[in-house]
A and B are shown apart, each in its own frame.
Chain A
Amino acid sequence: MLTALIAWPALAALLLLLVPTRWAKHVALAASLAEFAIALPLWWTFVPAGGMQFQLDVPWIPAWGIRYAVGVDGISLFLVLLTTFLVPLSVLGSYSYITTRERGFYALMLLLTAGMLGVFVSLDLFLFYVMWEVMLIPMYFIIGVWGGENRLYAAIKFFVYTFFGSLLMLVAILALVYLTAQRTGVISFSYAYLMTNPGALGPVAFWLFGAFFLAFAIKVPMFPFHTWLPDAHVEAPTAGSVLLAGILLKMGTYGFLRFAVPFFPQVALHPAVQTAIVVLALVGIIYGGLVAMVQPDFKKLIAYSSVAHLGFVMLGIWALTLQSVQGALLVMINHGISTGALFFLAGMLYERRHSRMIAAFGGIARVVPLLAAVLTLVSLSSIGLPATNGFVGEFLILLGAFRTYPVAATIAAGGVIVAAMYLLPALQRVIYNPLDKPENERLPDLTPRELAVLLPLVACIVWIGVYPKPILRRTEPAALQFIQSVRASAAAMTAGR
Chain B
Amino acid sequence: MPGSLLDALWLVPALPLAGFVLNGALALTRPGAKRAVSLIGVGVLLLAFAAAAGAVVAFARLPGGEPVVQRYWEWLPVGDLQVHFALQLDRLSAVMILVVTGVGALIHLFSVGYMHDDPGYARYFAYLNLFVFFMLMLVLGASFPVMFVGWEGVGLCSYLLIGFWFNEQINADAGKKAFIVNRIGDVGFLVAMFLLFRATGSLDFGDVFSRAAGTFPPGGALITAITLFLFLGCTGKSAQIPLYTWLPDAMQGPTPVSALIHAATMVTAGVYLVARCGVLFALAPVASAVVAGVGALTALFAATIALKQWDIKRVLAYSTISQLGYMFLGVGTGAHAAGIFHLATHSFFKALLFLGAGSVIHAMHHAYHATHAHDDAQDMRNMGGLRHQLPWTASLMWIATLAISGLPPLAGFFSKDEILSAAFAQGAVRPIWYAFWAMGIAAALLTAFYMTRLMLYTFHGANRTGEGARAHLHEAPWVMTGPLVALGGLTLAGGALNVSPLFGGGTWLHRWLEPVTAAADRLQPAVELSRATEWALVLGAVAVAALGIVGALRLLKPEALVPARLAPPETGLGRVLWKKWYVDELYDAVLVRPVMWLSREVLWKVVDARLVDGLLVNGSAVASRALGWVGSRLQTGEVGFYVVLFVIGVLAVLGAAVR
Q: How far is the CA of A387 from the CA of B73 in the complex (A)?
A: 14
Interface contact B654-A7, CB-CB below 8 Å: yes
Q: How far is the CA of A356 from the CA of B635 in the complex (A)?
A: 26
Decide if A337 is an interface residue (CB 8 Å cutoff): no
Q: How far is the CA of A134 from the CA of B153 in the complex (A)?
A: 44
Tell me how far the C-beta of A151 lies from the nearest C-beta in chain B, rounded to whole angstroms: 10
Interface contact B179-A414, CB-CB below 8 Å: no
Interface contact B78-A58, CB-CB below 8 Å: no
Q: How far is the CA of A157 from the CA of B616 in the complex (A)?
A: 11
Q: How far is the CA of A226 from the CA of B616 in the complex (A)?
A: 11
Inter-chain contacts of B172 with A (CB < 8 A): 428, 432-433
Q: Known: A17-B643, A290-B599. Is A396-B76 also a contact (CB below 8 A)?
A: yes
Q: Known: A227-B608, A322-B78, A370-B28. Is A60-B639 also a contact (CB below 8 A)?
A: no
Interface contact A386-B596, CB-CB below 8 Å: no
What is the interface residue range for chain B against chain A? 35 or more
What is the interface residue range for chain A against chain B? 35 or more
Decide if B632 is an interface residue (CB 8 Å cutoff): yes
Decide if B74 is an interface residue (CB 8 Å cutoff): yes
Inter-chain contacts of A431 with B (CB < 8 A): 166
Q: How far is the CA of A410 from the CA of B640 in the complex (A)?
A: 51
Inter-chain contacts of A138 with B (CB < 8 A): 646
The 0/1 profile, CB within 8 Å of B marked 1, for residues 152-165 of chain A is 10011101100110
Q: How far is the CA of A10 from the CA of B613 in the complex (A)?
A: 35
Q: Known: A227-B612, A291-B608, A425-B176. Is A107-B598 also a contact (CB below 8 A)?
A: no
The 0/1 profile, CB within 8 Å of A marked 1, for residues 166-196 of chain B is 1111001101100110011011001101110
Q: How far is the CA of A226 from the CA of B186 in the complex (A)?
A: 29
Residue B643 contacts which of A13, A68, A428 (CB distance < 8 angstroms)? A13
Please, which residue of chain B has its CB at the minimum distance from the CB of A376? B160
Interface contact A164-B190, CB-CB below 8 Å: no
Interface of A is mostly: helix
Tell me how far the C-beta of B13 lies from the nearest C-beta in chain A, rounded to whole angstroms: 12
Q: How far is the CA of A68 from the CA of B627 in the complex (A)?
A: 30
Interface contact B627-A107, CB-CB below 8 Å: no
Interface contact A287-B653, CB-CB below 8 Å: no
Inter-chain contacts of B145 with A (CB < 8 A): 386, 395
Decide if B600 is an interface residue (CB 8 Å cutoff): yes
Interface contact A432-B180, CB-CB below 8 Å: no
Decide if A42 is an interface residue (CB 8 Å cutoff): no
Interface contact B620-A294, CB-CB below 8 Å: no
Decide if A468 is an interface residue (CB 8 Å cutoff): yes
The 0/1 profile, CB within 8 Å of B marked 1, for residues 461-485 of chain A is 0000011110011001000100000
Decide if B650 is an interface residue (CB 8 Å cutoff): yes
Q: How far is the CA of A402 from the CA of B198 in the complex (A)?
A: 8
- Stretch of A84-92, A253-261, A416-424 contacting B (4+ beta carbons < 8 Å): A416-424
- Stretch of A25-33, A139-147, A195-203 contacting B (4+ beta carbons < 8 Å): A139-147
Decide if B206 is an interface residue (CB 8 Å cutoff): no
Interface contact B624-A417, CB-CB below 8 Å: no
Residue B631 contacts which of A140, A224, A428 (CB distance < 8 angstroms)? A140
- Stretch of A271-279, A346-354, A361-369 contacting B (4+ beta carbons < 8 Å): A361-369
Q: How far is the CA of A159 from the CA of B626 in the complex (A)?
A: 12
Tell me how far the C-beta of B111 lies from the nearest C-beta in chain A, rounded to whole angstroms: 20
Please, which residue of chain A has its CB at the minimum distance from the CB of B173? A428
Interface contact B653-A127, CB-CB below 8 Å: yes
Interface contact A130-B28, CB-CB below 8 Å: no
Residue A399 contacts which of B168, B194, B613, B644 (CB distance < 8 angstroms)? B194
Please, which residue of chain B has its CB at the minimum distance from the CB of A118? B650
Q: Known: A386-B148, A432-B166, A433-B167. Is A3-B653 also a contact (CB below 8 A)?
A: no
Inter-chain contacts of B27 with A (CB < 8 A): 369
Decide if B657 is an interface residue (CB 8 Å cutoff): yes
Inter-chain contacts of A399 with B (CB < 8 A): 81, 193-194, 197
Decide if B79 is an interface residue (CB 8 Å cutoff): yes
The 0/1 profile, CB within 8 Å of B marked 1, for residues 204-218 of chain A is 000000000000000
Residue from B78, B190, B617 having most chain A Cβ neighbours under 10 A: B78
Inter-chain contacts of B81 with A (CB < 8 A): 323, 396, 399
Interface contact A104-B640, CB-CB below 8 Å: yes
Residue B616 contacts which of A227, A370, A391, A428 (CB distance < 8 angstroms)? A227
The 0/1 profile, CB within 8 Å of B marked 1, for residues 312-356 of chain A is 000000000011001100000000000000000000000000000
The 0/1 profile, CB within 8 Å of B marked 1, for residues 380-400 of chain A is 100001110001100110111
Interface contact A68-B612, CB-CB below 8 Å: no
The 0/1 profile, CB within 8 Å of A marked 1, for residues 14-52 of chain B is 000000000010011000000000000000000000000
Decide if B651 is an interface residue (CB 8 Å cutoff): yes
Residue A134 contacts which of B79, B80, B608, B649 (CB distance < 8 angstroms)? B649
Interface contact B76-A398, CB-CB below 8 Å: no
Tell me how far the C-beta of A302 lies from the nearest C-beta in chain B, rounded to whole angstroms: 15
Inter-chain contacts of A287 with B (CB < 8 A): 603, 607
Tell me how far the C-beta of A472 lies from the nearest C-beta in chain B, rounded to whole angstroms: 6
Interface contact A433-B166, CB-CB below 8 Å: yes
Q: Known: A164-B623, A291-B599. Is A365-B76 also a contact (CB below 8 A)?
A: no
Inter-chain contacts of A11 with B (CB < 8 A): 647, 651
Tell me how far the C-beta of A224 lies from the nearest C-beta in chain B, rounded to whole angstroms: 5
Q: How far is the CA of A67 from the CA of B657 in the complex (A)?
A: 7
Decide if B360 is an interface residue (CB 8 Å cutoff): no
Q: Known: A60-B657, A159-B627. Is A104-B643 also a contact (CB below 8 A)?
A: yes
Q: Known: A104-B640, A160-B623, A326-B78. Is A380-B166 also a contact (CB below 8 A)?
A: no
Please, which residue of chain A has its CB at the minimum distance from the CB of B614? A227
Interface contact B643-A111, CB-CB below 8 Å: yes
Tell me how far the C-beta of A378 lies from the nearest C-beta in chain B, rounded to whole angstroms: 14
Tell me how far the C-beta of B250 lies from the nearest C-beta in chain A, rounded to whole angstroms: 15
Residue B640 contacts which of A67, A103, A294, A480 (CB distance < 8 angstroms)? A103
Interface contact B79-A323, CB-CB below 8 Å: yes
Residue A416 contacts which of B73, B153, B190 (CB distance < 8 angstroms)? B190
Q: How far is the CA of A127 from the CA of B608 in the complex (A)?
A: 35
List which B600-622 residues lie within 8 A (CB) of chain A: 600, 603-604, 607-608, 611-613, 616-617, 620
Tell me how far the C-beta of A103 lies from the nearest C-beta in chain B, rounded to whole angstroms: 7
Inter-chain contacts of A326 with B (CB < 8 A): 78-79
Q: How far is the CA of A429 from the CA of B191 in the complex (A)?
A: 31
Decide if A413 is an interface residue (CB 8 Å cutoff): yes
Inter-chain contacts of B654 with A (CB < 8 A): 3, 6-7, 10, 68
Q: Known: A294-B600, A395-B145, A398-B190. Is A428-B627 also a contact (CB below 8 A)?
A: no
Interface contact A414-B149, CB-CB below 8 Å: no
Interface contact B603-A417, CB-CB below 8 Å: no
Decide if A282 is an interface residue (CB 8 Å cutoff): no
Residue B28 contacts which of A10, A373, A395, A467 (CB distance < 8 angstroms)? A373
Q: How far is the CA of A403 from the CA of B100 in the complex (A)?
A: 37
Please, which residue of chain B has its CB at the minimum distance from the CB of A403? B198
The 0/1 profile, CB within 8 Å of B marked 1, for residues 4-22 of chain A is 0011001101100100000
Inter-chain contacts of B620 with A (CB < 8 A): 160, 164
Q: How far is the CA of A83 from the CA of B81 in the complex (A)?
A: 29
List which B426-466 residues lie within 8 A (CB) of chain A: none
List which A31-84 residues lie within 8 A (CB) of chain B: 56, 58-61, 67-68
Inter-chain contacts of A424 with B (CB < 8 A): 159, 176, 179-180
Interface contact A417-B183, CB-CB below 8 Å: yes
Decide if B656 is an interface residue (CB 8 Å cutoff): yes
Inter-chain contacts of A467 with B (CB < 8 A): 73, 75
Please, which residue of chain B has its CB at the minimum distance from the CB of A415? B187
Decide if B505 is an interface residue (CB 8 Å cutoff): no
The 0/1 profile, CB within 8 Å of A marked 1, for residues 125-156 of chain B is 00000000000000000000100110111001
8 tightest CB-CB pairs across the interface, nearest first?
Answer: A68-B657, A402-B194, A322-B79, A432-B166, A104-B639, A432-B172, A290-B599, A294-B600
Known A-B contacts: A59-B657, A159-B631, A468-B75. Give 9 more (CB < 8 A).
A58-B657, A157-B624, A387-B149, A395-B145, A398-B194, A416-B187, A417-B180, A434-B168, A466-B75
Q: List 20 A-B contacts (CB under 8 A).
A: A11-B647, A17-B644, A60-B656, A60-B657, A67-B657, A68-B657, A104-B640, A107-B639, A114-B650, A127-B653, A152-B631, A226-B612, A386-B145, A402-B194, A403-B198, A410-B191, A416-B190, A417-B187, A424-B180, A428-B172
